[in-house]
Amino acid sequence: MGIQGNHRPTAIVTGSSRGIGRVIALNLANAGYNLVVNYKESQAAAESLGLELEQIGTEYLLCRANVSAWDDVVQMRDQVLERWGHIDLLVNNAGIISDALFHKMAKEDWQQVIDTNLTGVFNCARVCVSQMIEQAHGKIINISSFVALKGNIGQANYAAAKAGIIGFSKTLALELARYEITVNVIAPGFIETDMLSEVPERIREKLIAQIPQRRFGTPEDIAQAVLYLAGKSGDYITGQVLNINGGIYM
């Protein structure tokens, strides 16, 4: 979206204290955005990111909010509007996993993943959309996963939530196009994060063997796609799913 008039655009990136979200936040800061750093538990990591944003010269807010909790999300939205008065970009990145084979999956494992990964996207989009409609512009980018399209053993809850994001986003794109609001999805493949680094080497080798490019993606790969969709280049793109997975066939 770039600079709007005489103000810097404001971006909310959920789950931005670590991993992919952190790199997205840094890239947006370098592109001239005010940043809302959202986290649930990783306060030290969020504060560390804040120091990096200060070095860039970016205005930022640290917002502790559980995206699955409606009141937390409303409070985060209100803090943003009180500080800057506008919300130009929402990146729904926050997510968790709680893997188990389906016949062994506890109801709690199902519910926690759905609440964070899907309901959290609804909550954040719902509280921000009214402001975007009033502004007559805005962009929403939802981070899904190639698992939503391919499935994955032990991740029925995660696949369901991430697939739900796609249907939700396509519907939202149709409803909001008249207000100059775009809604798109990025579906990463295997990305080199702390979570993936904990996977045993023998499993990592099997995963890489599935990838035609024979390497894992990087958080930077995802962040660059966010910048593309968020910028002027993405103004005529809405309701789309961008697969960034090294060529994995669905």
Q: Residue 246, exposed/middle/buried by CB under 10 A (0-12, 13-18, 19+)?
A: buried
* Amino acid occupying residue 190: F
Helix (H, G, I), strand (E, B) or coil at 186: strand
First to last CA, the chain: 31
In the block, residue with structure tokens 């909001």? 176
Long-range contacts of 94-102 (CB under 8 A, 24+ apart): 94/14, 94/15, 94/21, 94/38, 94/40, 94/67, 94/120, 95/15, 95/120, 95/143, 95/161, 97/155, 97/158, 97/195, 98/157, 98/158, 99/154, 99/155, 99/158, 100/154, 101/153, 101/154, 102/156
In DSSP terms, which residues pair with 61 in a beta bridge? 36
Nearest by Cα to 23 from 241, 248, 217: 217
**Cα–Cα distance measured from residue 239 to residue 20, given in angstroms and rounded to the nearest whole number:** 22
Angle between helices 19-30 and 219-230 (to 10 degrees): 50
**Cα–Cα distance measured from residue 164 to residue 181, given in angstroms and rounded to the nearest whole number:** 20
Active site (annotated) includes residue 158: yes
Catalytic-role residue among 33, 39, 60, 158: 158
Report, as residue numbers or ranges, the catalytic residues. 158
